[in-house]
Amino acid sequence: MKGSVISMFKETISESLLADIMSVSKRTVGSWKKNGKVNPLKNGLYSLSDLVYFPQVKAMMESNWDKEQEIKPIKKYSSIELFAGAGGLAIGLEKAGFNAVALSEIDKNACSTLRKNKPEWNILEGDVSNIDFTVYKNIDFLSGGFPCQAFSYAGNKLGFKDTRGTLFFEFARAIKEIKPKVFLGENVKGLLTHDNGKTLETIKSVIQGLGYTLIEPRVLKAIFYRVPQKRERLFLVCIRNDLVKYNNFEWPEPFNRILTVKDALKKGALYESDCPDSQGQVYPERKKKILSMVPPGGCWVDLPDDIQREYMQKSYFMGGGKTGMARRLSYDSPSLTLTCAPAQKQTERCHPEETRPLTVREYARIQTFPDNWGFVGSVSSQYKQIGNAVPVNLAHAMGKKLISLLNNIENRIEVFESYQIEEKEKTVIQMSLFESKGKYKLKTHNKKIQRTQKATPLI
C-alpha cells in the first residue's frame, strides 16, 4: 500500500475529475481556481499532492483499500438475497466470500439471466409474498434492494403492519422469519427524503421493532469503489440486537483513483481487453445527425442555437441544466448514472466517439459486470436489468466489510462503543445519519476490544 500512496502523490487529475471527486460542478472548480483555492499546473491538470487538504482526496491517498481486499471469511457464511435482479449485488457478495442459499426475483428474464450464469444458484422465481422463509434456518446474512414505496399510515404509529402491501413489508417479513445475524438494505438516495421523510422513519421503526440495531447509514458514491460511474446508493446495515456488542463494522475505504469510461470500454485497469461487440439500440437518422455535433462530455448546450430549439422543443424555454439531454459521454470522466435505457431523451448516454447509444456489453462494463456474465431477454430487457443493478465492484467492497463484521461476530470479540442511553429505560438508541451528531458518541472501533473467548485472529 505504501508504494501506491507514493505513486498517488505523483498523479495528476483533470478539472473534470476533481469536480467528480468533490461532487461539485466544473463551474465551481473554476471559481475555486479564480480565488486561489485550487491551483492547476501549467498543463491545466491538478496534482493530487496539492489537494490533500480536501478530505475526499486525503481519504483516497491514505486508504487501506489493498488491506481490505485481503479480508477472507473464517467460515462459510450463508446468505439469502431478495429482489436479486440480474445479479450485480449477488456477484459482488459471492466474490467477497458469501455463499448464496437462495435468491428471490420476480422478473422472468432476470431469473433466466441468473440461471444462465449460475446454474448452481437456488433461484426463487415469482412473487416474494408467496415465499415461506421459515424453512431457512441459521442464515448468517440477508440482503435486498427493496423498491422505494410510500406507506399507508394508521394514525401516528409506525410499525411492521403499516408497511403491508409494499415490498419493504416482504423484506421485513423475511427478516422476521429468517432472523439473520446481519442484513443489508440497499436503495436509492431519494429514500432519505421520500414522502417527506416518513418512509425512512417507518423503516427505522420497523427495524427497531424486529430486534435489530441500525448502523449509521451512508450514501456511497460508486466512483470511489472502482466503478467508472457517478452512481449513488444508500446502504443500511443492521445487526441483530444480541450481537451488537460484536459490531466492528466500518464502511469500505475508497480506491486510490477514479476510474473513467475509458477504463470500462478499453483494455486497462478493469478489463484485460477492449469491450467485446454486442447488440444495442440505434438512433433515428435525424437524432444521430444532431448528436454527431455534440463533443465528448458535451450535451445539448453545445449545439447551435437553432438545433437546440429543434431538439429541446418546449424544454428549451423551461430553464435548468438538463445536462442529461443529448449527452455524449467522455473517455476522460466516469459515466453518468446508467438508467434503464441508454437512448431516453432526458438521460442520453451516447458513446464517447461513435454516434450511437452504448451497447448492452458497454452498459454492463460500466456497471462492472464481468464479460462472461450474459443477459437473457430482449435488448430493452437486458438494458433494464443492467441499469437496475448494484455495480458489482461496489457490492464487492461492501461485501468485504460485511465479511469482516461476521468474522468478528464469529470470533465473539466484543467492541466497546458509547451509545446514547435513555436515563429512564436505559435502552440503546440506534445510531443514525439522520439524527443530530450531538445525540451520540462513537468510539473508534479498533481502540478497545475484549476477547470473551479464545479466538483466531481476523484475516
Q: What's at 189, amino acid-wise? A: K
Give the residue among 139, 92, 379 at the shortest CA–CA distance from 252.
Answer: 92
Distances (CA, A) of 42 to 30, 46, 199: 15, 9, 50
Determine which one of 111, 148, 238, 350 is catalytic: 148
- Whether 111 sits among the annotated catalytic residues: the reply is no
Q: Nearest 5°: phi and psi at 336?
A: -65, 165
Q: How many CB atoms lie within 10 A of CB 4?
A: 14
Are 456 and 408 contacting, i.e. CB atoms less than 8 angstroms apart? no
Catalytic residues: 148
